[in-house]
Structure formats: structure tokens, C-alpha cells
Amino acid sequence: MTRHRWAATALCLVAVVAAQAKWPAPPVPSPIGFQSINDDRLSQLRRQAMQFVESRPRQGFQFVERHRDTEFQVHCRGVPVLWLERRSQHLLLRVSLDAEQRAPAVLQLGTLLQWQLQPLGHLEQVLAGVPEPVLLDWVLQVFAGEVPDRMRCGMQ
């Protein structure tokens, strides 16, 4: 009976890996934790992200506001590539692992936003529960392959 369970478990793992190779999930973002900010500062960062999108009208970018006072995103052809989320004790700025390939211009926006924020130290991030990128995320990104040209933004 034990051999059957091992065989069934191994078969399930192979099926999961094969399914991920055939239908890769959107890349997982790598979060970065920052000190909390006030509403005015968040509004300023929101405006910068909106200006980024508005200055590229035909490049496939969209500004998506999840919650006015807590979260906004920049999408590339419907796929999130940058998130800014205010939590109770800190701020998260995340950029998709495939942003360099999918939407290289969004990396500049991420850098601009980061430059204006005070990063949390490593211990502060751990204590605040800021999730860290995992090696598995990077491996899945490698297996996901190239982003098709029709799904890229900023290429004109």
C-alpha cells in the first residue's frame, strides 16, 4: 500500500509540473517593504503612476486602482506588472519578475517610486511579515519562457 501512495504522489507531482510548463501562471512579484506613508504622499505616488501610463497612450499600459487609499497597480495588456499597496504598518512595492521582458519601462517607474520611499530593514521586513521572493518563483519564471510580442508593452 505504501508503494502505491508514493507512486500516486509522484504521478501527481509530475502532472503539476507538466501543467505549469504547458500553462504557466502569471509571474509572481518580488515584494519590497517600505516605511508607511501618509495619504498625501500616497496620492503623489499614485499621480506619478497615472502620469506614467497616460504618457504612453498606445503602449498597452493601464492604471488600475484597487482601493483609493491603499492600493494601485500598473498593468501591461491586462497583466499586473507593478503594485503599490499600503498595509497597516508598512508599504509594499512589487514588480513582476517578468517586467524586464514584458514591460521594461515599468522598471523605471518602480525605481522612481522606490527612490522616494524609506526601505524597511531586513529584520523589520521579517517582523512585519513582508513576503520574500522565493527561489521557486525564479525557477518558474525561467520555465515560463518568452513573453509573446503581442503581450509586451512599451514596444513601438
pLDDT (tens digit per residue) in 98-127: 888 888 999 999 999 999 999 888 888 888
Residue with the bigger pLDDT between 51 and 28: it is: 51
Is the Cβ–Cβ distance between 35 and 117 less than 8 Å? yes
Every domain of the chain and the residues it spans: 26-151
Q: Order the strands of the 79-86 sheet from edge to edge.
A: 29-35, 90-96, 79-86, 71-76, 61-67
Question: 26-151 in CATH: which number?
Answer: 3.30.310
Please, what sign has the CA dihedral across residues 12, 17, 18, 22?
Answer: positive
Is the Cβ–Cβ distance between 27 and 140 less than 8 Å? yes
**Tens-place pLDDT, residues 65-75:** 987 778 999 99
Position 91 pLDDT exceeds 60: yes
DSSP letter string, the chain: -HHHHHHHHHHHHHHHHHHHHHSPPPPPEEEEEEE---HHHHHHHHHHHHHHHHT-TTTTEEEEEEETTTEEEEEETTEEEEEEEE-SSEEEEEEETTHHHH-THHHHHHHHHHHTS-BPPHHHHHHHTPPPP-HHHHHHHHHH-PPPGGG-SS--
**The model's pTM:** 0.70
Length of the chain in terms of residues written = 156
Average model confidence (pLDDT) across the chain: 78
Bridge pairing between strands 29-35 and 90-96: antiparallel
Per-residue pLDDT band at 6 (split at 50, 70, 90): low
